[in-house]
Amino acid sequence: MFSATLRIECVLAAVAVGVQGCNGPNSIETVSVSLKNTETYEYRTVGGDEEGARISTQARHYSISEIRRDAATNWYAVYVYQPAAGFVGEDHAEVEVMTGSDGASAPTNIKRVVFRFSIHN
């Protein structure tokens, strides 16, 4: 069984942040995950037609580290991570989640999600 904790940081230059979290263009969310080296972790991001996600920093010790977006994820962009077989230690990945596009222009909000994996037997 894995466990995850979230830490959300907002870089919003003296703007009060509400209960809903970080929606600013420079927000950072840190996700700490404790995971057995035989388990797979999934993190659902966005699902709108004009929204997207990409891996900006690839994990180093993985057998799976990818964004999936298909019928199995109900068309949500889902980051999927599974450690390399037998790996024990720390790993790190970063995903950028892009929102705010009207379809004709680039996204106006990019949230960085930082994953800190602690892998054990």
Per-residue three-class SS string for the chain:
CCEEEEEEECCCCCCCCCCCCCCCCCCEEEEEEEEECCCCEEEECCCCCCCEEEEEECCCCEEEEEEECCHHHCCCCEEEEEECCCCCEEEEEEEEEEECCCCCCCCCEEEEEEEEEEEEC
Domain total in the chain: 1
pTM assigned to the model: 0.80
Tens of pLDDT, residue by residue over 11-53, are: 333 222 222 345 556 799 999 999 999 999 999 999 989 999 9
Q: What CATH code is carried by the domain that includes residue 70?
A: 2.60.40.2020
Domain that holds residue 75: 3-120
- 107 vs 5, residue with greater confidence: 107
